[in-house]
């Protein structure tokens, strides 16, 4: 008998024991939580400060003082800030803000619509061009033209910077192993870190305003293009590179002649992901006073004007859909092999030339006439004023619906809210935040050890120790409780939908576009409908976070289920398994690595919504961060809360990654590399756009068999 | 080897079976015009592919029925149609007199749980389960209690020579051993019919030979009916009582090994079998000639089903006196040095000479 077999036996013998132990840990924990409730919870009042928070406040003051003095570092950073600021302001002047002594931007709305439509048609196709025109006009009719252009200006500035920085780095990481090794952990952190967290430290150096917003957006948006560029270059077949080398090409010639052209599609995909990430982040930077739609939504949420928030959120969605479709169409263009027929090429050229002339003419109009410069609200037709605006109607409709819901459906939503709170959230919160800190700490480390082994336990111990250091233990545990409940909900929905989609090609084709759309939506937008349904509060934040995390989870699980070899499923079927047996005995166990990965991503997504939840009264860490931006004396506490969120993120990410690695090691097909690079690429690659032509994935009928 | 007897009812009877892929597939078998179109024309005209086209055959109890053909000939689709893993487009499959195409989902599941078992090309094992749990999977889905199914699993694990590995995971086993697990899983439920879908083509040649012997041994010991799909002619000849050669989803020829080699139905089958060592497959029936005046009448006597290879030594040793081929006391013909050398030397092209070649497409009752 081989050692491997013996090891397998030991593992088999050990497995049922782990579950029992975990239950035992939970039981002891619950008992101690009841007995010692309220002792040593380290709870901190919202306006109380811990030692660390005061120190951070002092650092903030010191930086402020240095700005007035003549520290070289600060001046250097200030120069960067000024340059970025100038870029954003130029963009704004171009499309959003009055410029050049005129009361309107350089390009009026007609000019922007014309140029954007032309660009969409040239980069993508006629369909997305039409969509672009319609989307922009709709936003204008919502009465949100200027705000949308502010958002767009910020997004485009950040994208420009991200590409300027990201493309060369990506190429370097594609060519050099050393660069990739250094870069991977940095990118991991940048992408794992919940979006809001780098807002605070950045404002320390770059102050509040558009420059900080652009730089934050840049940090968040650059990783996809870096990763996908590196990935694209690395995916070029070795033989192609070798062939060019054998012909005596220099490194540069290899890159220009072989690697870059062959990875063009992946790189464009990265660019489109960067654009979407930038839009998402640009709306969020409203928290640090960035102009645009995000700021409007934020203001509406603060005064609980759900109707207005809905109208503004809708504009963000429209913008996101337009950008996403155009980017997707542009990426699809690069995928098309070969050249079009000469006749088609001529036709296209003629169309482009004609379009360019038309666009230039419209731009000229928008610089000449006020009606083409400032989006009109009314037009006089035959002596009557016809209103162009839809915004009021949308807001009223949404507001009316909310009013109706709060009158008629409140009992249902209220009952749901109360039940879930009483059954799940409150007990968990009592367990995590209500027990003495040392009980919680020991219990969490023990659970990590049982779930994922000693290495995970070490990670948990370090992260929890550092959490203690932030002085926000109780808030962190409260946030953790909400995160766990939200993630549990995500997993229930994710496994259910994922299995369905993984098993049915038809279901996949129906639902996947919705998931794609859901993933392009900026985090903010998710809050609006749930505030309407459930009123501001902890529960609303949990639901919004769960909904935000569902698409990625479903996709990963569906792909995992589909990745189970068809022959294995067929074998199970040939032995007379019914559907339930196939799902529970074959597909889910074999997709275990995917399920764990989905859990990991679900946690990260949920956690990244924590701060957004803070906006609607979820309290705890999210509130601490938000308050830190608005109240000077809470600044240090906000920073510490940001750090606490990162620590929670690292804790949950690492432990689930280690667990995923263990799941993969036990026979199930591997889905993620240990570094998590593939895991994070996967969602990106999944949303690979569908070009015209054959369907992306043939519906499994068995016709693909020999 | 058991040979189908005309007196017993077939276990499986396939009648006019069709499997057509593509849009509006069911129109193809119904239209006499479309049904006879070639593959390429049908694809161009309607976008349909005929994987199985108008096949009819019977499998007798205890028989090893081999379906053989090149990639894309439809043989894997055919074997999946037989258990409705792939839904046939038209025709009938009778299993013990019951038409499988009309039974409900529940009855079908019952049949799969109790009557059929299948062995797959890439094994189709569950990587997260131990060998013993893989082997007992079929029993598990039909609801056998744990202790009993493990007992039974251990029996078949022993039978296929995997004792000692029952607690290992599939990934810890070699390809050949993994397929033994697949074999054990198929045997565990004591099915009436075993289906094999190219079970050994993923294995290297030595292991493949070993596994073929294993199947032959199991067939000898257990006498199960087997439907065996392969693209390997030597495997087909080695295992098959009868062989169906498929081409583009249709029957090229059905017959015993010696019929295929001795009397290929067309050039396609002839090309297929031309490299076969004839002496290993053909029997004396295929090479004997009529008795001529002047033949020594006192040569050694052999039955017509003796394989030529086994008769070579005797014929050559008989020195001028041709061997008499005798069945039921009647002399059917004789085989002399000339005939043997012609065959062994490969001088006989295409169809075997002698009158049996033309007449002997249906092999008679086993002699002796």
End-to-end CA distance of chain A: 38
Nearest-Cα distance to chain A for B126, in Å, is: 7
Q: What is the pLDDT of residue A19?
A: 80
Helix, coil or strand: residue A278: helix
- Whether B292 contacts chain A with CB within 8 A: no
Distance CA(A699)–CA(A510), nearest Å, equals: 12
Distance CA(A239)–CA(A258), nearest Å, equals: 11
Strand-pair category, B242-247 with B250-255: antiparallel
Backbone angles phi, psi at B23, to 5 degrees: -70, 140
Q: What is the pLDDT of residue B2?
A: 46
Q: What is the pLDDT of residue A662?
A: 75
Name the band, by pLDDT with cuts 50, 70 and 90, for residue B279: confident
What is the average pLDDT across B191-210? 90
Return the structure tokens found at B307. 């394989």
What is the average pLDDT across A558-567? 88
- pLDDT one-digit tens code per residue, B210-253: 889 989 998 998 889 999 999 988 899 989 999 999 988 889 99
DSSP characters over A65-97: HHHHTT-HHHHHHHHHHHHHHHHHHHHHHHHTS
Q: Which of A232-246, A389-403, A489-503, B254-268 has the lowest mean pLDDT?
A: A389-403
Out of B122, B128, B189, closest to residue A668 by CB: B128
Name the band, by pLDDT with cuts 50, 70 and 90, for residue B350: very low
Nearest-Cα distance to chain B for A191, in Å, is: 32
Helix, coil or strand: residue A106: coil
The number of C-beta contacts closer than 8 angstroms across A and B is 109
Given a cut of 90, whether residue A478 has pLDDT beyond it is no
Distance CA(B283)–CA(B364), nearest Å, equals: 12
What's the mean per-residue pLDDT of chain B? Answer: 85
- Whether A665 contacts chain B with CB within 8 A: no
Q: SS3 letters for A307-343?
A: HHHHHHHHHHHHHHHHHHHHHHHHHHHHHCCCCCCHH
Q: What is the pLDDT of residue A340?
A: 64
- Whether A576 contacts chain B with CB within 8 A: yes
DSSP characters over A635-678: HHHHHHHHHHHHHHHHHHHHHHHHHHHHHHHTTSPP-S-TTSHH
- Count of residues for chain A? 706
Q: What is the pLDDT of residue A617?
A: 75
Q: Which of A101-105, B61-65, B191-195, B262-266 has the lowest mean pLDDT?
A: A101-105
Contacts with B49 (C-beta within 8 Å, 6 or more apart), sequence order: A703, B20, B21, B22, B39, B42, B43
Return the structure tokens found at A45. 């009042």
For B85, B109, B126, B137, the CA distances from A566, given in Å and listed in that order, are: 11, 19, 12, 17
- Whether B185 contacts chain A with CB within 8 A: yes
Instruction: Verify whether the Cβ–Cβ distance A567 to B169 is below 8 Å.
Output: no
Say what angle helices A109-123 and A126-141 make with each other, to 10 degrees: 160
Yes or no: say if A226 and A271 are a contact pair by the CB < 8 Å rule: no
- pLDDT one-digit tens code per residue, B16-25: 999 999 888 8
Instruction: Determine which of B70, B112, B119, B128 to mutate to test the interface with A (most A C-beta atoms within 10 Å).
Output: B128
> Long-range contacts made by residues A451-455, C-beta under 8 angstroms, separation at least 24?
A451/A22, A451/A655, A451/A659, A452/A655, A452/A656, A452/A658, A452/A659, A452/A662, A453/A658, A453/A662, A455/A658
For A110, B297, B359, the CA distances from A281, given in Å and listed in that order, are: 27, 103, 85
Distance CA(B95)–CA(B91), nearest Å, equals: 13
Say what angle helices A72-95 and A145-175 make with each other, to 10 degrees: 130
Considering only alpha carbons, which residue of chain A is nearest residue B48?
Answer: A703
DSSP symbol at A588: H
Distance CA(A260)–CA(A267), nearest Å, equals: 9
Q: Sign of dihedral through CA atoms A113, A115, A116, A118?
A: positive
CA nearest neighbour of A449 among A459, A439, A464: A459
For chain B, where are the alpha helices, taking DSSP H only? Answer: 27-30, 32-35, 39-46, 75-82, 105-114, 131-135, 137-141, 146-159, 175-188, 205-222, 233-239, 257-262, 267-273, 278-281, 284-287, 308-317, 337-344, 355-359
- Whether B120 contacts chain A with CB within 8 A: yes
pTM to 2 decimal places: 0.74
Instruction: Verify whether the Cβ–Cβ distance A567 to B22 is below 8 Å.
Output: no
Centre a 10 Å sphere on the Cβ of residue B196 and count the other Cβ atoms it contains. 25
Q: What is the pLDDT of residue A9?
A: 52
Q: What is the pLDDT of residue B348?
A: 44
Helix, coil or strand: residue A460: helix
Distance CA(A588)–CA(A595), nearest Å, equals: 8
Instruction: Verify whether the Cβ–Cβ distance A585 to B126 is below 8 Å.
Output: yes
For A177, B201, B242, the CA distances from B245, given in Å and listed in that order, are: 54, 17, 10
| Alpha-carbon Rg for chain A in angstroms | 27
Given a cut of 80, whether residue A703 has pLDDT beyond it is no
Distance CA(A19)–CA(A16), nearest Å, equals: 6
Q: What is the pLDDT of residue A192?
A: 65
- pLDDT one-digit tens code per residue, B310-319: 888 888 887 7
Given a cut of 90, whether residue B131 has pLDDT beyond it is yes
What is the average pLDDT across A663-674? 46
Q: What is the pLDDT of residue A383?
A: 64
What's the mean per-residue pLDDT of chain A? Answer: 79
Question: What residues in B contact A12, CB-CB < 8 Å?
Answer: 130, 167
Given a cut of 90, whether residue A2 has pLDDT beyond it is no
Name the band, by pLDDT with cuts 50, 70 and 90, for residue A386: low
Phi-psi region for residue A367, left (φ > 0), alpha (ψ -120 to 50) or beta? Answer: alpha
CA nearest neighbour of A671 among A596, A582, A569, A584: A596
What is the average pLDDT across B174-178? 90
- pLDDT one-digit tens code per residue, A591-643: 888 888 888 888 888 888 877 777 777 778 888 887 877 777 778 888 888 88
Instruction: Verify whether the Cβ–Cβ distance A4 to B168 is below 8 Å.
Output: yes
Yes or no: say if A132 and A82 are a contact pair by the CB < 8 Å rule: no
Yes or no: say if A292 and A157 are a contact pair by the CB < 8 Å rule: no
Yes or no: say if B252 and B245 are a contact pair by the CB < 8 Å rule: yes
- Whether A704 contacts chain B with CB within 8 A: no
Residue position matching structure tokens 């081999």: B66
Instruction: Verify whether the Cβ–Cβ distance A668 to B127 is below 8 Å.
Output: yes
Q: Characterize B134-161 residue by residue with b for buried, 16 or more Cβ atoms within 10 angstroms of its Cβ, and e for exposed.
A: bbbbbbbbbebeeeebbebbbebbebbe
- Whether B137 contacts chain A with CB within 8 A: yes
Contacts with A83 (C-beta within 8 Å, 6 or more apart), sequence order: none
Q: Is B74 exposed, middle or buried (0-12, 13-18, 19+ CB in 10 A)?
A: buried
Given a cut of 60, whether residue B367 has pLDDT beyond it is no
- pLDDT one-digit tens code per residue, B282-299: 888 888 888 888 777 777
DSSP characters over B234-296: HHHHHH-SEEEEEETTEEEEEE-HHHHHHS-SSHHHHHHHTTS-HHHH-BHHHH-B---TT--
Helix, coil or strand: residue A155: helix
- Whether B122 contacts chain A with CB within 8 A: yes
Strand-pair category, B64-68 with B225-230: parallel
Question: What residues in A contact B137, CB-CB < 8 Å?
Answer: 572, 575, 585
Out of B86, B128, B171, closest to residue A592 by CB: B128
High-pLDDT (> 70) share of chain B, %: 92
List the 231-290 stretch of B: residues with Cβ below 8 A of A: none
Name the band, by pLDDT with cuts 50, 70 and 90, for residue B363: very low
Instruction: Verify whether the Cβ–Cβ distance A8 to B142 is below 8 Å.
Output: no
Question: What residues in B contact A669, CB-CB < 8 Å?
Answer: 127
Backbone angles phi, psi at B56, to 5 degrees: -140, 135
Residue position matching structure tokens 């506490």: A637
Out of A565, A571, A586, closest to residue B118 by CB: A571
Q: What is the pLDDT of residue A177?
A: 86
Distance CA(B247)–CA(B270), nearest Å, equals: 13
What is the average pLDDT across B310-333? 82
Name the band, by pLDDT with cuts 50, 70 and 90, for residue A191: low
Return the structure tokens found at A647. 């620590």
- pLDDT one-digit tens code per residue, A217-272: 888 888 888 988 988 888 888 878 888 777 777 788 888 888 888 888 888 888 88
Q: Which of A123-132, A249-258, A313-322 has the lowest mean pLDDT?
A: A249-258
> Long-range contacts made by residues A405-411, C-beta under 8 angstroms, separation at least 24?
A405/A532, A405/A533, A406/A532, A406/A535, A409/A533
Q: Is A17 exposed, middle or buried (0-12, 13-18, 19+ CB in 10 A)?
A: exposed
What is the average pLDDT across A55-82? 75
Instruction: Determine which of B25, B107, B111, B127 to mutate to test the interface with A (most A C-beta atoms within 10 Å).
Output: B127
High-pLDDT (> 70) share of chain A, %: 86
Question: What residues in A contact B76, CB-CB < 8 Å?
Answer: 705-706
Distance of CA A682 to the CA centre of its chain: 14
Angle CA B239–B124–A565, to nearest 5: 135
> Which ipTM was obtained for this model?
0.78
Helix, coil or strand: residue B70: coil
Given a cut of 90, whether residue A346 has pLDDT beyond it is no
CA nearest neighbour of A291 among A152, A195, A99: A152
Q: What is the pLDDT of residue A201?
A: 74
- Whether A668 contacts chain B with CB within 8 A: yes
- Whether A60 contacts chain B with CB within 8 A: no
Helix, coil or strand: residue B89: coil
Considering only alpha carbons, which residue of chain B is nearest residue A9?
Answer: B167
Contacts with B62 (C-beta within 8 Å, 6 or more apart), sequence order: B2, B223, B224, B225
Q: What is the pLDDT of residue A363?
A: 79
What is the average pLDDT across A498-525? 81
């Amino acid at each position: 008998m081989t050692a491997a077999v013996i090891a397998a036996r030991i593992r088999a013998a050990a497995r049922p024991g782990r579950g029992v132990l975990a239950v035992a840990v939970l039981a002891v924990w619950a008992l101690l939580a009841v007995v010692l409730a309220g002792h040593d919870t380290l709870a901190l009042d919202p306006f109380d400060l811990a030692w660390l928070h005061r120190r951070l406040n002092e650092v903030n003051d010191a930086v402020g003082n240095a700005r007035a003095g003549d520290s070289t570092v600060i001046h250097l950073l200030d120069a960067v800030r000024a340059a970025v600021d100038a870029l954003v302001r130029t963009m704004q002047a171009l499309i959003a803000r009055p410029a050049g002594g005129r009361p309107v931007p350089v390009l009026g709305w007609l000019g922007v619509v014309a140029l954007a439509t032309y660009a969409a048609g040239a980069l993508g196709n006629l369909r997305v061009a039409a969509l672009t025109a319609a989307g922009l006009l709709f936003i204008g009719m919502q009465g949100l033209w200027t705000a949308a252009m502010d958002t767009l200006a910020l997004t485009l500035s950040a994208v420009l910077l991200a590409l300027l920085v990201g493309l060369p780095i990506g190429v370097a990481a594609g060519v050099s192993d050393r660069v990739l090794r250094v870069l991977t952990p940095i990118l991991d952190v940048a992408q794992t870190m919940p979006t809001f967290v780098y807002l605070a430290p950045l404002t320390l150096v770059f102050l509040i305003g558009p420059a900080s917003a652009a730089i934050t957006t840049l940090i968040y948006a650059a990783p996809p293009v870096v990763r996908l560029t590196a990935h694209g270059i690395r995916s070029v077949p070795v033989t192609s590179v070798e062939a060019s080398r054998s012909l005596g090409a220099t490194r540069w010639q290899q890159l220009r002649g072989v690697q870059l052209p062959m990875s063009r599609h992946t790189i464009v995909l990265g660019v489109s992901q960067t654009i979407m990430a930038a839009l998402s982040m640009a709306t969020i930077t409203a928290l640090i006073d960035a102009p645009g739609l995000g700021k409007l939504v934020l203001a509406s949420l603060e005064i609980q004007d759900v109707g207005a928030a809905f109208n503004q959120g809708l504009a963000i969605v429209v913008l996101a859909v337009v950008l996403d479709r155009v980017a997707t169409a542009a990426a699809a263009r690069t995928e098309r092999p070969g050249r079009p027929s000469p006749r088609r090429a001529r036709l296209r050229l003629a169309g482009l030339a004609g379009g360019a002339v038309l666009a230039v003419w419209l731009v000229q109009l928008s610089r000449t006439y006020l009606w083409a410069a400032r989006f009109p609200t009314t037009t006089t037709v035959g002596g009557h004023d016809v209103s162009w605006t839809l915004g009021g109607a949308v807001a009223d409709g949404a507001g009316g619906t909310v009013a109706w819901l709060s009158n008629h459906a409140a009992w249902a939503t209220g009952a749901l809210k109360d039940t879930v709170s009483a059954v799940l959230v409150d007990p968990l919160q009592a367990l995590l935040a209500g027990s003495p800190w040392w009980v919680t700490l020991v219990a969490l480390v023990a659970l990590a050890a049982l779930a994922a082994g000693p290495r995970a336990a070490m990670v948990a111990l370090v992260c929890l120790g550092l959490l203690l250091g932030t002085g926000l233990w109780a808030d962190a545990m409260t946030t953790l409780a909400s995160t766990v409940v939200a993630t549990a909900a995500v997993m229930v929905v994710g496994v259910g939908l994922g299995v369905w989609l993984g098993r049915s090609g038809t279901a996949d084709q129906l639902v996947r576009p919705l998931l794609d759309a859901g993933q392009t939506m900026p985090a903010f937008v998710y809050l609006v409908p749930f505030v309407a349904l459930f009123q501001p509060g902890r529960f609303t934040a949990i639901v919004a976070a769960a909904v935000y995390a569902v698409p990625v989870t479903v996709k990963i699980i569906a792909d995992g289920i589909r990745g189970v070899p068809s022959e294995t499923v067929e074998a199970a079927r040939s032995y007379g398994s019914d559907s339930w047996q196939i799902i529970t005995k074959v597909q889910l166990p074999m997709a275990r690595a995917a399920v764990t990965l989905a859990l990991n991503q679900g946690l990260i997504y949920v956690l990244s919504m924590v701060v957004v939840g803070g906006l609607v009264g979820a309290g705890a860490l999210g509130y601490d961060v938000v308050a830190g931006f608005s109240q000077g004396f809470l600044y240090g506490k906000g920073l510490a809360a940001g750090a606490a969120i990162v620590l929670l993120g690292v804790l949950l990410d690492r432990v689930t990654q280690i667990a995923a690695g263990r799941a993969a090691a036990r026979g199930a097909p591997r889905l993620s590399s240990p570094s998590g690079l593939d895991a994070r690429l996967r969602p990106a690659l999944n949303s690979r756009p569908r070009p015209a032509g054959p369907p992306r994935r043939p519906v499994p009928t068995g016709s693909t068999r020999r | 080897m058991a040979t189908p007897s005309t007196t017993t009812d077939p276990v499986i009877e396939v009648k006019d079976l069709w499997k057509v892929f593509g849009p509006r597939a069911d129109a193809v078998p119904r239209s006499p015009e479309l049904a006879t179109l070639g593959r390429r024309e049908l694809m161009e005209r309607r976008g349909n592919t005929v994987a199985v086209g108008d096949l009819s055959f019977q499998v007798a109890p205890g028989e090893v029925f081999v379906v053989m053909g090149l990639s894309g000939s439809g043989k894997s689709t055919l074997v999946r149609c037989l258990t409705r893993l792939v839904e046939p487009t038209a025709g009938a499959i009778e299993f013990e007199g019951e038409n499988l195409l009309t039974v409900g989902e529940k009855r079908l599941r019952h049949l799969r749980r109790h009557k059929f078992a299948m062995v797959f090309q890439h094994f189709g094992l569950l990587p997260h389960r131990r060998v013993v749990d893989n082997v007992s999977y079929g029993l598990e889905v039909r609801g056998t209690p744990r202790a009993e199914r493990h007992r039974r699993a251990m029996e078949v694990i022993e039978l296929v020579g995997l004792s000692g590995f029952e607690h290992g995971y599939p990934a810890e086993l070699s390809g050949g051993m993994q397929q033994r697990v697949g074999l054990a899983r198929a045997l565990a439920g004591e099915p009436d019919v075993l289906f094999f879908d190219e079970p050994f083509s993923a294995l290297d040649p030595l292991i493949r030979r070993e596994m073929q012997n294993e199947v032959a041994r199991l067939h000898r010991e257990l006498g199960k009916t087997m439907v065996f799909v392969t693209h390997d002619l030597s495997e087909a000849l080695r295992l098959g009582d009868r062989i169906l050669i498929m081409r583009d989803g249709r029957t090229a020829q059905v017959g015993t090994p010696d019929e295929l080699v001795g009397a290929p139905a067309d050039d396609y089958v002839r090309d297929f079998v031309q490299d076969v060592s004839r002496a290993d497959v053909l029997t004396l029936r295929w090479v004997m000639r009529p008795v001529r005046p002047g033949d020594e009448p006192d040569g050694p006597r052999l039955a017509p089903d003796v394989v030529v290879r086994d008769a070579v030594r005797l014929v050559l040793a008989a020195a001028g006196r041709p061997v008499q081929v005798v069945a039921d006391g009647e002399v059917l013909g004789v085989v002399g040095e000339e005939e043997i050398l012609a065959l062994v030397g490969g001088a006989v092209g295409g169809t075997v000479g002698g009158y049996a070649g033309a007449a002997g497409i249906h092999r008679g009752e086993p002699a002796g």
